[in-house]
């Protein structure tokens, strides 16, 4: 995962400022450019209410320009405070009906490698993940890293990657490996065997006995096949002979890089609950594909990734598999 250009949306809440701080930490080892943006919400209600009254005040001529100017000043101050001068990029302010649409549109206009934003915005919701962040994750072609707290290389030691035997979920291992190299962290592959729900697409990899050791062997075998089929990632698995403990290896220009690869297989009724519980207790970062066994973002996000993201306490990086060329609307 090459990170050279990061977009950080903010609503100026304390939580969203932690995302800017996280971006400031990431430039230390990625050397990337950081752009900041803020979206002023479109005040449609006031437009419709004030126009018939003939009030000598124009929202478009008076209020919005003031809001945009103030937002630009605040973004400049935050950039100066948290981002080293040589890594500061552009500042964007706009007026849009939905902040999520503005963020996604901006990410498509520039060549970004990552959107880094707060998992929760200024206003609390019933879910831990804010509605704006949830929509950005659903529609973005760019990886989205959502955070609750400031992240740095000092607090990322274990990276969890949920997988379900699909190519979409296996793809998330690629950026996880790149992050593990930078953070000097280990990776934990996490597979949930949902009782009574193993699909035909998992055959012949899932034994009918549902034995965890056999699942582990089948999982690593399929993953090795996937990496062989996608040799452009230059990534392989070294089997150590110790159950559940292997090594991810990358060799480039005679330089070998390795990352510990642990596997955890559990049985459960609800995949998202098992993933969330393990992530919050045992991991520091989760890397998850937006497309799983179904191949449909609407289905996978709605049933698993969306549920995980709503209740996750640790940072979440969602990635869209490269084989999907068109955005999901």
Q: Which of 113-122, 188-197, 210-219 is the most confident on average?
A: 210-219
Pairing of strands 186-194, 285-289: unpaired
Structure tokens at 197: 């729900």
For residues 192 and 296, state if they share a domain.
yes
Nearest one of 300, 297, 304, 296 to 275, comparing CA atoms: 304
**Burial group, residue 329, by CB count within 10 angstroms (0-12, 13-18, 19+):** exposed
Report whether pLDDT(44) > 50. Answer: no
Structure tokens at 78: 């935050």
For residues 105 and 48, state if they share a domain.
yes
Residues 97 and 115 sit within 8 Å (Cβ to Cβ): no
Give the DSSP letter string of 139-183: H-SS-EEEESS---TTS--EEEEE--SSHHHHHTHHHHHHHHHHH
pLDDT confidence of 34, banded at 50, 70, 90?
very high
For residues 51 and 197, state if they share a domain.
no
pLDDT confidence of 234, banded at 50, 70, 90?
very high
**The dihedral sign for the CA sequence 44, 96, 15, 36:** negative
Q: End of a domain among 147, 171, 203? A: 147
pLDDT of residue 76: 97
More confident position, 56 or 305: 305
pLDDT confidence of 238, banded at 50, 70, 90?
very high
| Structural domain of 283 | 158-319
Beta bridge partners of 146: 117, 316
For residues 168 and 310, state if they share a domain.
yes
- CATH number of residue 116's parent domain: 3.40.50.620
Report whether pLDDT(247) > 60. Answer: yes
More confident position, 63 or 112: 112
More confident position, 297 or 131: 131
pLDDT of residue 255: 86
Report the number of distinct structural domains present in the chain: 2
**Backbone phi, psi, residue 294, to 5°:** -75, -25
More confident position, 2 or 30: 30
Q: Which of 157-166, 188-197, 283-292 has the lowest mean pLDDT?
A: 188-197
* 3-class secondary-structure state, position 272: helix
Contacts of 27 (CB under 8 A, 6+ apart): 34, 83, 84, 87
For residues 15 and 164, state if they share a domain.
no
How high does pLDDT run on average in the chain? 83
Report whether pLDDT(86) > 90. Answer: yes
pLDDT of residue 165: 86
Structure tokens at 138: 């659903």
Q: Kindly state whether residue 46 falls inside one of the protein's structural domains.
A: yes
Residues 187 and 258 sit within 8 Å (Cβ to Cβ): no
* 3-class secondary-structure state, position 266: strand
The whole-angstrom distance between residue 142's C-alpha and the CA centroid of its chain comes to: 9
Q: End of a domain among 147, 173, 208? A: 147
pLDDT of residue 145: 95
pLDDT confidence of 195, banded at 50, 70, 90?
confident
What does the pLDDT average to over 176-187? 94
For residues 137 and 32, state if they share a domain.
yes
Report whether pLDDT(206) > 60. Answer: no
- Considering the chain, what percentage of its residues have pLDDT values greater than 70? 79
For residues 92 and 229, state if they share a domain.
no
For residues 33 and 121, state if they share a domain.
yes
Structure tokens at 28: 């230390």
pLDDT confidence of 26, banded at 50, 70, 90?
very high
Report whether pLDDT(215) > 70. Answer: yes
């Amino acid at each position: 995962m090459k990170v050279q250009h990061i977009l950080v949306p903010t609503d100026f809440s304390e939580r969203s400022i932690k995302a800017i701080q996280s971006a400031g930490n990431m430039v230390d080892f990625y050397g990337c450019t950081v752009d900041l943006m803020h979206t002023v919400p479109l005040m449609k209600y006031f437009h419709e209410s004030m126009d018939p009254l003939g009030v000598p005040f124009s929202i478009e001529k008076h209020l919005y320009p003031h809001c945009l100017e103030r937002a630009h000043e605040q973004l400049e101050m935050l950039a100066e405070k948290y981002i080293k001068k040589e890594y500061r990029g552009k500042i964007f302010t706009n007026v849009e009906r939905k902040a999520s649409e503005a963020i996604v549109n901006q990410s498509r206009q520039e060549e970004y490698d990552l959107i880094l934003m707060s998992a929760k915005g200024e206003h609390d919701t019933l879910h831990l993940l804010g509605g704006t962040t949830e929509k950005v994750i659903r529609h973005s072609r760019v990886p989205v890293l959502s955070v609750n707290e400031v992240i740095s290389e000092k607090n990322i030691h274990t990276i969890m990657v949920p997988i379900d035997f699909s190519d979409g979920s296996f793809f998330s291992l690629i950026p996880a490996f790149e992050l593990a190299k930078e953070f000097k962290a280990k990776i934990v592959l996490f597979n949930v065997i949902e009782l009574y729900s193993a699909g035909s697409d998992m055959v012949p990899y899932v034994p009918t006995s549902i034995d965890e050791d056999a699942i582990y062997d089948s999982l690593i075998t399929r993953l090795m096949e996937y990496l062989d089929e996608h040799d452009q990632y230059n990534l392989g698995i070294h089997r150590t002979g110790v159950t559940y403990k292997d090594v991810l290896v990358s060799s480039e220009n005679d330089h070998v890089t390795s990352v510990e690869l642990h596997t955890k297989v559990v049985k459960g009724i609800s995949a998202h609950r098992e993933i969330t519980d393990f992530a919050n207790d045992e991991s520091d970062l989760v890397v998850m594909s937006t497309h799983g066994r179904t191949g449909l973002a609407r289905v996978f996000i709605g049933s698993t990734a969306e549920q995980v993201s709503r209740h996750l306490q640790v940072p979440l990086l969602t990635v869209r598999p490269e084989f999907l060329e068109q955005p999901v609307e």
